[in-house]
Amino acid sequence: MKAVLLAGGAGSRLAEETQSRPKPMVEIGGKPLLWHIMKLYAAHGVREFVVCLGYKGYMIKEYFAHYLLHQSDVTFDLAGNRTQLDRSDAEPWLVTLVDTGETTLTGGRLKAARQHLGDEDFCMTYGDGVADVDITRLVAFHRQHQRLATVTAVRAPSRGANLVLEDRRVRKLSPDSTESASWINGGFFVLSPKVIDYVDGEQTSWEREPLERLAAEKQLCAFRHEGFWQPVDTLRDKQRLEELWASNHQPWRVWA
């Protein structure tokens, strides 16, 4: 499978960090959030990534352009103008970086990546948070229920529309946190390419009309995740993850 990573937002609430870099490049333990998310997927066998760029997207391009060099022993033959990589710890990933526009909304970014997705179901998540979601179980759950979309539902203080669940299906999205018992959209979707038809254009927010329509048409399932989940929206969120990393208690680190 492929995983689409939405990495184009400006991250204005984390301005201390995002004035100089895109939010997915904010580092935890010396590695960008984007890297942590990709390591999670790779631990479950997903090694092909389509990254949707926007704000300061050139920095993500530069990161991957030099990734192999930074992960390798290298010999520079200055007289012969030759560079030799001798040993590499680089992951066997295939990474496609797609410019989707600086002001494009989340649905529009997904639509812009359509040509790179093929006809098979794919994973999708946001590039600004970490979790220990069992991607293998998530994909199996999606296939079992045979709907167009599956969202990972998490319990957390409400920061947006809540998911009103009916057994394993999302009945609707609601702004009323009391109705949904604090189940919210935690990202980590599995999607049919058909969902892209629900996106009108670049100013469509994936979290609004497309998800609302899918829920209304009984095409949106919820995979309930009770484990670790932490978005990085504020400096306090980043500091919490840094403290966990430094203490060697890293719940989202499911890789060896």
At 13 the pLDDT is 76
Q: Phi and psi dihedrals of 209, rounded to 5?
A: -55, -50
CB 169 within 8 A of CB 222: yes
Residue 182's closest CA among 225, 147, 219? Answer: 225
**pLDDT tens digits along 170-224:** 877 876 555 445 789 999 999 999 999 999 999 999 999 999 999 999 999 999 9
Whole-structure pTM value: 0.89
- 14 or 73: which carries more pLDDT confidence? 73
Answer whether CATH 3.90.550.10 is correct for domain 2-73+90-154+183-246: yes
User: What distance in Å separates the CA atoms of residue 104 and residue 97, rounded to the nearest whole number?
Assistant: 15
